[in-house]
Amino acid sequence: MTNDTRPLAGKVALVAGGTRGGGRGIAVELGAAGAAVYVTGRSSAAGRSDLDRPETIEETAEKITAAGGLGIPVRTDHSRPDEVRVLVDRIASEQDGHLDILVNSIWGGDPLTDWEHPLWEQDLDTGLRLIRQAVETHVITSRYALPLMVSRGSGLVVEVTDGNTARYRGSFFYDLAKSAVIRLAVAQAAELKAHGIAAVAITPGFLRSEVMLEGFGVTEANWRDGVAKDPNFARSETPTYLGRAVAALAADPGIMAKSGRALATWGLYKEYGFTDADGTQPDWPAH
């Protein structure tokens, strides 16, 4: 049974790439809406990934449960089909074949992105690794998770990207990855329509992730001090804002009308009325 404060009670979600940033924000807000959330990634209490970041999937799971949901951390390398297959089999076993929401938020491409050089001057192996990390992982995860949704004839797939237009994003492989993720949503929407399953892409605005805060030399508590470094930082948003956008989509009984679209926090807050963690409603393009 659902209610206004827990519209996703009884729902099961998989947030692939929920260790930190937007993925963590989405996982926590799905939990706040009442969902049981499997949160996956390579950084766990058992050891860090090659990104060598301190955040873990266990921390995300604890935040999900504290928010009112059920957080279930499962260490998974989504570039490995065998590990993803085991993950999905576990979900099927523990949830009676039930999966309502799949969020593909796997990224890990920050250290692989070259913002300074054109394609012909970039390291090819690094660029291709970025594509494998940021695109192929999404394909692998959907390949194994979608049958759980198809068998029930309902569900929502969310592909997390950067930007919802065809604008060039400043670096060849980065642009290719983020644009490809939008096409993943479009393609899945087309193939899933007959099964009553929606697929969308979504982008945040200027996201105050853990990495971004560190880059500005601030914390969430004093983030406004970062405006001195970049005035645009004043219009940034937290991962909570993205999470609430996804939770609103997941609770929308008319979600099929949005299937196949590239959406954004700055458009969805106007429709659903959600706010960021501090009660504001950042609107990046308006800025």
Active site residues: 174
103 beta partners: 15, 158
In angstroms, the CA 151 to CA 128 distance is 34
Q: How many CA atoms lie within 13 A of 55 on its CB side?
A: 21
DSSP 14: E
In angstroms, the CA 208 to CA 231 distance is 14
> What's the distance, CA 92 to chain centroid?
21
In angstroms, the CA 217 to CA 202 distance is 27
The angle formed by the CA atoms of residues 150, 153 and 158, to the nearest 5 degrees, is 70
